Structure 1
Amino acid sequence: MKSLKNKTALITGASSGIGEAFARQFGQMGLNLILTARSGDKLAKVAAEIRKEHAVDVKIITADLTSPSAADKIAQEIWNDKLHVDILVNNAGFGKWANFLDEEKQTYTEMIALNIDATVKLSHLFLPQMLKNKSGGIINIGSTGSFQPTPYIAVYCATKAFVLSFSEALFGEYKDKGITITAVCPGNTKTLFSEVANAQTEGQTYATPQQVAKEGIAAFMKGRNYTVTGSFNNYIQSLSSRFLPRRTIIGIVANMFKNKVKSYSLT
C-alpha cells in the first residue's frame, strides 16, 4: 500500500499483546480503528487511551471469535454503522504447549476455530470491499512455527502453517488487483501467550509486541507476502526446513521442545 491516510483498520485480539501494539501503532499513524476482543474492559481501556493520544476514531466490538457466528456479527455491526474496513489484522489466536493427548478435544476445537476459521471468515467478509476500492489488504499473524511441524505444539503450529499458506495463496490471487496480503511470523514475543500456552520459556529471548507490529506494518506497506520478525535466528529457523530432510527437522524440533512442555495427564 502506498498510503494509509484516512484508512480504517479492523484488529482482532486487540486488548493486549501484538493486537494492542498494532492498534497503537496504526493509531499513531492516523488510522481510524475497529478493535475486537473477548475482554470488553481491557478493550475499552486501550481504545480510550488511543483516542486521547492520537485523536482518531476507535470503535470497539466485544466478541468471542471461537463462536461460529461471531465473524458475521462483527461484520454486520460494522456495516450497520456505515463503516468500512481497509485493513484487516487477523491477530486473535492461542496455542498450547503439551503432549497432544494432554489437552481436551474442546481446546483444539476452539484453537482451530479461532486461529483458522475466524481468519478465513473475516477475510471472506471484508475482501470484496477492498477489491471494489482496489486498495487495502490483510495482515495475518502466523509464527516461526508456520514453517515446520512442531512436536508438542502440534495443533497450534499446524494452524499457523495454515495461516501462512492461506495468506500466500491469497497474495497470489490479489496482488495484481491492488490488495496486499501479508503473513507476519513472529518468534517468542513478550505477551500473555506463554502463560496461556502453559509453556516453559525461561531463558529464551523475546521480541516486544511493538517490534512485531512495527516490522509487520513495514512489510505490509512494502507489499511483501510474508515476513519473519524479530532476531536473525528466527529467519534462519524459518529456512531450515528448506535445506534439511523433514524427518531430520522433526527430530531436531522434538528434542528442542520435549523438555519445555509442562506435561500433565488427563488419564
Structure 2
Amino acid sequence: MTTTALVTGASSGIGLEFARQLAARGHALVLVARSVGRMESLAGELREAYGVRVEVVGQDLAAPDAASRVAGEVAARGMTVDLLVNNAGFGTAGRFEEIPAERERDELMVNVVSLVGLTHAFVPGMIARGGGAVVNVGSVAGFHISPYFATYAASKTFVLNFSLALWSEFRGRGVKVLAVTPGPVETAFFDVIGTREAAIGARMNTPERMVRSALRALDRDRGYVVPGAGNFGMAHLMPRRPRKLIALIGRMVTRRVERTSSGLLGGGAAGAGAEAA
C-alpha cells in the first residue's frame, strides 16, 4: 500500500531534498509552501522519475488558520497523511530591539504554531490507523542559549522538547516522532541574508547528507538526531548550567552576527526551511 508524506517548506533546500528522497522510497507526496511555481516544477520531476502521486498546496504557514487550511486541502483531494515532515521555518538574527516585531511573530507562527497545528491535524489519524510518523526539523541552536538569535533559538528549543515528549508519549502506539537538529546546511539560506556569519564558524552540511541521516534515524526510531559529528559535539559538550554563565558565553560566540546582520535571517515564511545553525 502506498503511503503519503506531507512536506512543508518543500520548494527549496532541505524540504526539497526530503521530497526527493521520500519519492525515491515510493511515497506519494503533498508539497506545501508559498512558492507554488517551484513546487509544481519539482512535482513534475518527481512524478516522471518515480511514478508517484504528487500534490501541491500553496499556503503561507504564518497565517493563523494555515494548519486547518492545509488539512482541508488534503482531505478534499482524498488523501491521508502517513508521514508528516514539519520542515518549514525561518529565523531572525541581530539585536532583539531592532528586529521587526511582525517578523518575529511570523517566525513563531511558522516555527511553532503551524508545526503544532499540523501535528494535531494528522496524528489522530495515524494513531487510529495504527501507524505513522512525524519529523520535525529543528536546529542545533535548540540546545543552546543564543543571544542575537533569541527568538529563533527559543523556537527550536520548543521543537526539540515537543518532539521528544511526543516520541515518549506515542511509544507502543505505532507512531514515530523524530526531531532533526542540524547545524548549518549548504542551501540558499545564507545567500538570502547576505552573510555566513550566522553559521558561527561551523562546517556546512549538505541537504542530501542531512536528509539521509534523518531518514535513517526515523527508521530506527531514534527520537532525535544531530547530523554530523561536529554538530553532535557542539550540541552535547557545552554544559547546560549555570544558565547565566552559559548565556554570557553564548554571547561571546554569537556576537559576530550583531556586527553583520541586517536584523533578518532566512527567506520566505513558509518555504525557507530550517537551515540555520
**Residue 85 of structure 1: how far off its partner (Å):** 0.2
| Structure-2 separation of matches of 1:207 and 1:163 | 20
| Structure 1 runs (4+) greater than 6 angstroms displaced | none
Deviations 1:224-259 (A, max 9, x none): 1100012x1211111134465323322222111111
Provide the aligned length of Structure 1 versus Structure 2.
Answer: 260
2:140 to 134, 141, 144: 144
Deviations 1:167-215 (A, max 9, x none): 0111111111011010000001012222445543386421011111111
1:229 to 223, 227, 230: 227
Q: 1:147 to 1:204 in 2, by over 3 A?
A: closer
Unaligned runs of 5+ in 2: 264-277
Q: 1:243 to 1:66 in 2, by over 3 A?
A: closer
1:181 aligned counterpart, secondary structure: strand
Q: Tell me which residue corresponds to 1:64.
A: 60
| Structure-2 separation of matches of 1:30 and 1:106 | 40
CA contact (8 A) 1:96 1:199 kept: no
Task: Write the letter of the residue equivalent to 1:93.
Answer: G
CA contact (8 A) 2:181 2:225 kept: yes
Q: Tell me which residue corresponds to 1:124.
A: 120
Q: Tell me which residue corresponds to 2:96.
A: 100
Q: 1:187 to 1:247 in 2, by over 3 A?
A: same
Residue 158 (structure 2) pairs with residue 162 (structure 1): yes
Q: Tell me which residue corresponds to 1:37.
A: 33
CA RMSD after TM alignment: 1.7
TM-score (norm 1): 0.92
Percent identity, aligned pairs only, is 35
CA contact (8 A) 2:239 2:246 kept: no
Ranked by relative contact order (alpha carbons within 8 Å, sequence separation 6 or more), the top structure is 2
Q: Tell me which residue corresponds to 1:253.
A: 250
**Residue 54 of structure 1: how far off its partner (Å):** 1.0
TM-score (norm 2): 0.89
Q: 1:244 to 1:198 in 2, by over 3 A?
A: farther
Task: Write the letter of the residue equivalent to 1:220.
Answer: L
2:196 aligned counterpart, secondary structure: coil
2:237 aligned counterpart, secondary structure: helix
